Structure 1
């Protein structure tokens, strides 16, 4: 059974939303049935909360500057909607206030995408004053930038930046001409990586999926900080592919990186080992929706599955795309 739909009202008070979350029953709360249509929603099992706002066919969505917040286009009841959501239960209360800001701007006449941009910018600036990205996210971004640079040496910067799907609501990090690529980064001695869902390692139909494992270690004076790496890539793109500069900046914002973060203290890193490229195939350790031998009614109640995998000592994949990483030096970045 899908979420129930309530009457339209000014805005869902937190006490009302908290009641929905406690019950575990999904609910849609229309805030404005006019144009644009606006609704708050809570998914079954308190898996996700968010806001949906009607948009025009040509509207382009801004990137989310926060990794915990997803921005996507959805179709519902014949409407084209902008959906703003999070699955981070620890953020539900504060996220509710952020959504209220978006809804209030829209109902005051601000275009939906502009309302989202203005609200996210305000919250991003607030978060930037409080602190930067968590350590795990800084390391993850560093890993994706390393891959971006390596791809640029083969495909050129325009194709490499275009292939980077940061913040686009896609399951895989890079969409290359030949294959999709998922990148995972760790500072552990073994190649142990966190997988966030049962769909993250499901290949797109008709396309090969590769998995790139990166191991970094603290490098002291010999290493590279995230801010230094960002600035180095920024300069390369500015010279070699200026048309892609804004796309690169948007990708950084989608990771939650803001200019203020460059002034915060940060560690310096070097590669611990050479990157390991693996094919996501029958021999790859992963959980997918089909991996659970359960009745559909039971499986549908598994609303949040994450796990860790250890790919240490696995044999690297062959093929042209995998070979891109065969000559990467152990001790740092190219370029």
Structure 2
């Protein structure tokens, strides 16, 4: 259907929603220079802005939900911006294209500049999507599995408050009179990466335990995805959901990227604990201070430790059920 007249800047949100709800494609010619048309296509779930083609082309290659095409319409070269409308995002998508048209017609900006300005205004719609690196995904998954267990054992407030990993503290958890550093791996061997000289440095008078969790790719029937674990922990957190979400955000978790984390994971073997004592192979500031001059001038220390052939220690009594719970 082609309307006789339309002015984008006079379209209310209600009008756009009504046209979308009609479930039929509609094209709206927009007065002004350069001439533009707005196409609403509910069947495809997209909005289209078409106008005269010009160089340089807008750079949208790394943007999510937004595409650019150069097309030929008769004898004319046409630039087409396409926005994919996600759940509940119709008005934001419409506003993004309205901002581009305003820059084109009222600001007399070239296409590339108009798009760049709109991108800055609507960054949440257009920013590039990318999943967490696999190392960070499995690291977060291991911590959340332990947090899920701690909520059941200690309650939501104590458990969420005890999760220090996102806060750049030395250790992941401080709960039950013990500090716990959770390390996850997908390797056949219990090889873990230690970041920095303080990660395995016990605080005076506080026991420190490294909890080794081996994960493996699984099936939907026997494993859980990272988003599924996050959903479960959020439900258990109850009134602590806000504090939990703040910590997830610090770790760069974004629900808009949830579909990119679709791998089901399962615990490969029983988690094992290792007491961080004088016999543990840890590189710490205290140990290096005795051997390395000017240690403060060294930064970004990371190393791998293979615990496969090392005898584990018993988990503290408050956590001993975690091994059995994690493999249910």
Q: Structure 1-normalised TM-score?
A: 0.57
Given that residues 227 and 261 in structure 2 are in contact (C-alpha distance below 8 angstroms), is that contact kept between their aligned partners in structure 1? no
- Count residues with an aligned counterpart: 206
Q: Deviations over 1:107-145 (max 9, x none)?
A: xxxxxxxxxxxxxxx999489633121111111111001
The corresponding residue for 2:223 is 223
After TM superposition, the structure 1 = structure 2 runs for residues 276-295 of structure 1, keeping only pairs within 5 Å, are: 276-292=272-288, 293-294=290-291
After TM superposition, the structure 1 = structure 2 runs for residues 190-209 of structure 1, keeping only pairs within 5 Å, are: 190-209=189-208
Q: Deviations over 1:181-201 (max 9, x none)?
A: 100000000000000111110
Q: Deviations over 1:237-278 (max 9, x none)?
A: 23xxx1x11111011111110110113252110000011111
Deviation at 1:177, TM superposition (A): 3.0
Q: Deviations over 1:78-97 (max 9, x none)?
A: xxxxxxxxxxxxxxxxxxxx
After TM superposition, the structure 1 = structure 2 runs for residues 67-106 of structure 1, keeping only pairs within 5 Å, are: none
- Change over 3 Å in CA distance of 1:129–1:136 after alignment to 2: same
- Change over 3 Å in CA distance of 1:252–1:265 after alignment to 2: closer
> Does residue 250 of structure 2 align to residue 254 of structure 1?
yes
Deviation at 1:164, TM superposition (A): 0.5
3-state secondary structure, aligned to 1:273: coil
The corresponding residue for 1:16 is none
3-state secondary structure, aligned to 1:246: helix
3-state secondary structure, aligned to 2:274: strand
The structure showing larger relative contact order (alpha-carbon pairs under 8 Å, at least 6 residues apart) is 1
After TM superposition, the structure 1 = structure 2 runs for residues 175-214 of structure 1, keeping only pairs within 5 Å, are: 175-214=174-213
Q: What is the CA–CA distance in structure 2 between the aligned matches of 1:128 and 1:294, rounded to whole Å?
A: 47
- Change over 3 Å in CA distance of 1:286–1:253 after alignment to 2: same
Given that residues 194 and 302 in structure 2 are in contact (C-alpha distance below 8 angstroms), is that contact kept between their aligned partners in structure 1? yes
* RMSD of equivalent CA atoms: 2.4
Q: What is the CA–CA distance in structure 2 between the aligned matches of 1:227 and 1:262, rounded to whole Å?
A: 6
Q: What is the CA–CA distance in structure 2 between the aligned matches of 1:249 and 1:223, rounded to whole Å?
A: 23
3-state secondary structure, aligned to 1:129: coil
Deviation at 1:161, TM superposition (A): 0.9
Which segments of 5 or more consecutive residues in structure 2 lack a partner in the other structure?
A: 1-120
The corresponding residue for 1:270 is 266
After TM superposition, the structure 1 = structure 2 runs for residues 36-75 of structure 1, keeping only pairs within 5 Å, are: none
Q: Structure 2-normalised TM-score?
A: 0.58
- Change over 3 Å in CA distance of 1:285–1:295 after alignment to 2: closer
> Does residue 313 of structure 2 align to residue 317 of structure 1?
yes
Q: What is the CA–CA distance in structure 2 between the aligned matches of 1:206 and 1:127, rounded to whole Å?
A: 50
**Greater alpha carbon shift after TM alignment, 225-234 vs 151-160:** 151-160
